[in-house]
Amino acid sequence: MTAIQTMTATQTRIGPDPDRNLALELVRATEAAAINCSRLLGFGDKNAVDAAAVDAMRPVLGTVRMNGVVVIGEGEKDEAPMLYNGERVGDGTGPEWDIAVDPVDGTTLTAKSLPDAVSVLGVSPRGTMFNPGPAVYMYKLVVPGLVADAIDIDAPLADTLSRIAKATDRSVSDLTVAVLDRPRHEQLVAEIRQAGARIRFLLDGDVAGAIMAVSPGTGVDLLVGVGGTPEGVLAACALRCLGGELIGRLTARDADEKRAIIDAGYDLDQVLTTTDLVSGNNVFFAATGVTDGALLQGVRFESNRITTHSLSMRSRSGTVRLIEGRHDPERSLLVNH
């Protein structure tokens, strides 16, 4: 049993609600993506993993009753034949939604049979998701909501860790910080070690890391470092449902990218919060484990069934569901799902 299973589902809204099944419908898409790409576990080809996930997710999304536009997708149309930014998804009926999708957050993890790969999908009312434009990366701090008021993005990391420890009645040495294992974080890692906190290195996939940071029992207390801006928007969808907080700032890799970001109208000095990234009040998030991790178990193939483990969340109600799916391998998952 994973730690996330201990979270209590609560329902705070009673009455007719035509959107309430959307969160469960979205899980069908992440399940399909996770199952299809996990068949390539350990094959070493991350591009094939991504293609398999996209090929499985897209047709399932097409059956969902919604009128969606992909804001966070696989890239521009010419580079991504499916699930590209600006693509319309759903059956074209019902309310309009912004879509943030990563068929596999952790393609390399899947290709190398490493932990924490997930398929993720976020949905928010149309016009409420932040469009990163040319801003590929952002600096992020992700913390549980109860300590958000104690966080200053410009404060030394040692001070931030001390504030979190004080707010949670612990010492800094009790804290565990999730950090992407990248050369750019060498100084950051040195600061964490100097402060005395523990580190959980993420080989890839900081969406899962962000969710871990706000989920009890995962062993992670915060996530920090530079990661993808699209992944930041996806993480914000989950955080809107879980009550966590992301505090971030766009960052440029070089002078040309800096100029492109500024020319596009973005402010590199602006501090972005969870609600800046996803401002809608009716946010849905779905995730299915591809490989085993602290958050979710990966796909299991057995003689007479395929088992998946997924999260389904909604911000309006505060409901968080852990779903174990048992699929019949003799029936077409992608056609009859």
221 in a labelled binding site: no
193 in a labelled binding site: no
- Cα–Cα distance list, 11 to 15, 27, 124, 139 (Å): 11, 19, 19, 34
Contact, 167 vs 174, CB < 8 A? Answer: no
182 in a labelled binding site: yes
232 in a labelled binding site: no
Residue 159 identity: D
Q: Quick one: the chain helix, strand, coil %, rounded to 5? A: 35, 25, 40
170 in a labelled binding site: no
79 in a labelled binding site: no
106 in a labelled binding site: yes
Best CA proximity match to 202, nearest among 117, 287, 262, 324: 117
Residue 68 identity: G
Contact, 34 vs 120, CB < 8 A? Answer: no
- The length of the chain in residues reads 337
User: Rounded distance, CA 334 to CA 54, Å?
Assistant: 12
User: Rounded distance, CA 107 to CA 45, Å?
Assistant: 8
Burial 268-307 (b: 16+ CB within 10 A, else e): eeeebbbbebbbbebbbbbbbbbbbbbbbbbbeeeeeebe
42 in a labelled binding site: no
Q: Which two tokens stand for residue 6?
A: 């201990």
- Cα–Cα distance list, 187 to 83, 174, 194, 200, 225 (Å): 36, 21, 10, 16, 10
256 in a labelled binding site: no
205 in a labelled binding site: yes
169 in a labelled binding site: no
Largest CA distance in the chain: 56
115 in a labelled binding site: no
Give residues with Cβ within 8 angstroms of 275, minimum separation 6: 240
204 in a labelled binding site: yes
| 173: DSSP letter | G
- Cα–Cα distance list, 146 to 81, 270, 285 (Å): 42, 23, 21
Annotated binding-site members for Mn(2+): 50, 74, 102, 105, 231
Annotated binding-site members: 50, 74, 102, 105-107, 137, 182-184, 204-206, 228, 231
Annotated binding-site members for substrate: 105-107, 137, 182-184, 204-206, 228
